[in-house]
Amino acid sequence: MDPSNKTILITGGAGFIGSNFLNYVYKKYPDCKIILLDALTYAGNLDNVIDEAKNDPRFRFYHGNITHADIVTELVKQSDIVVHFAAESHVTRSIYDNTIFFETDVLGTHAIANAVVKHPVDLFVHISSSEVYGTAEGDVMDENHPLNPMSPYAAAKAGADRLVYSYIQTYDIPAIIVRPFNNYGPCQHIEKAIPNFIVSALMDQPVTIHGQGQSSRDWLFVQDTCEALDRILNIGPEKLAGQTVNLGTGVDTSVAEIAKRLLKIMNKPADLATFIEDRPGQVARHTSSIDKAADLLQWKATTSLDEGLAQTVQFYDQNRQWWEKYLWMKQLWGP
């Protein structure tokens, strides 16, 4: 498929991964049209979308909720490709107040999938999550790993993931289910672990790590995710409709090791790292199998962890006004 002159509907494109992807697509395809649908929750920020795109007539922004079937249906009708990122995305928040996770992640996906049934598109890319798997049963998790969601967030994402699967089976929609592992990079909300560590260290405050920091994740730099999604748009539905694919690096690194590396990159004292009580609902270890992505997409992550962390540190260091406005929220999610 050639995405260069298509109309692409991006839901949640004012958030972290969605905005990185929107900016990527905007720059790479000068003739494509982009429709952004975003409710601008606490996690959405239009500053994440480059000004060049916002000032371009081939970009349109709709401030709306994905659970509203009428808006979604109208926008899907105008689109050739749907890339669906919008979600409540924070595991810890879902432990304390989870209704909105099921409303947005499950019912929002339901509205989008229904719209795709009503107004067929070339390709519907559903962004699921590695969290649907729960803790890895073996060394690496492939796409057939059992789904054992361990937090309400993960359960909501698993519900959406299986909803899309059922629509592929029942209505034959041209959807691909993408399960990214832990993304990090510029424009990620500071409630998430890596940006939280970075901004704490930039302020010379303790870098607080839950438990012993031994829980381990497959950390994927967001630019690599954008490249994988771009491969998906180019390969298109003939080969990809009905598929489920992981996006990860195949390597896992503990949270404590991430904090250590960040402090080293930032030239901060190692003893800023402080261990505090653990949280429930956390996955112990996550490592992606990379075989299917290599085979299906001819894609492999290329950014090393140190390089990705250094680029991420640079973003937060050079864009203090971007994150300082969120600092008051730190009290909402604790140290």
Ligand X SMILES: NC(=O)c1ccc[n+]([C@@H]2O[C@H](COP(=O)([O-])OP(=O)(O)OC[C@H]3O[C@@H](n4cnc5c(N)ncnc54)[C@H](O)[C@@H]3O)[C@@H](O)[C@H]2O)c1
Which parts of this chain interact with ligand X (CB under 6 A)? 11-12, 14-18, 38-41, 43-44, 65-67, 85-89, 104, 108, 127, 129-130, 157, 180, 182-183, 189
CB of 5 to ligand X, least distance (A): 26
Say how far apart CA 185 and CA 220 lie, in whole Å.
9
Query: Phi and psi at residue 62, in whole multiples of 5°?
Result: -115, 120
Contact of 193 with 216, CB cutoff 8 Å: no
CB of 107 to ligand X, least distance (A): 9
Contact of 309 with 194, CB cutoff 8 Å: yes
Helices 193-202, 255-265: inter-axial angle, 10-degree rounding? 40
Between 193 and 313, name the residue whose CB sits nearer to ligand X. 193
Between 108 and 159, name the residue whose CB sits nearer to ligand X. 108
CB of 153 to ligand X, least distance (A): 8
Between 122 and 161, name the residue whose CB sits nearer to ligand X. 161
- Sign for the CA dihedral angle at 179, 182, 184, 188 comes to positive
Q: Which residue is nearest to ligand X (CB)?
A: 15
Between 132 and 296, name the residue whose CB sits nearer to ligand X. 132
Region of 308 on the Ramachandran plot (φ > 0 left; ψ -120 to 50 alpha; else beta): alpha
> Would you call 128 exposed, middle or buried from its count of C-beta atoms within 10 A (0-12, 13-18, 19+)?
buried
Between 174 and 248, name the residue whose CB sits nearer to ligand X. 248
CB of 57 to ligand X, least distance (A): 22
CB of 85 to ligand X, least distance (A): 4
In the sheet that holds 7-11, the strands lie side by side as 59-63, 33-38, 7-11, 81-84, 123-127, 175-180, 244-247
Structure tokens at 42: 């606490």
Between 40 and 265, name the residue whose CB sits nearer to ligand X. 40
CB of 327 to ligand X, least distance (A): 17
Strand, helix or coil for residue 150: coil
Between 253 and 272, name the residue whose CB sits nearer to ligand X. 253
Say how far apart CA 240 and CA 164 lie, in whole Å.
14
Between 94 and 272, name the residue whose CB sits nearer to ligand X. 94
Say how far apart CA 164 and CA 156 lie, in whole Å.
13
CB of 74 to ligand X, least distance (A): 14
Contact of 26 with 38, CB cutoff 8 Å: no
* Cβ count within 10 A of residue 319: 13
CB of 317 to ligand X, least distance (A): 20
| Number of helices followed by number of strands (H, E) in the chain | 15, 13
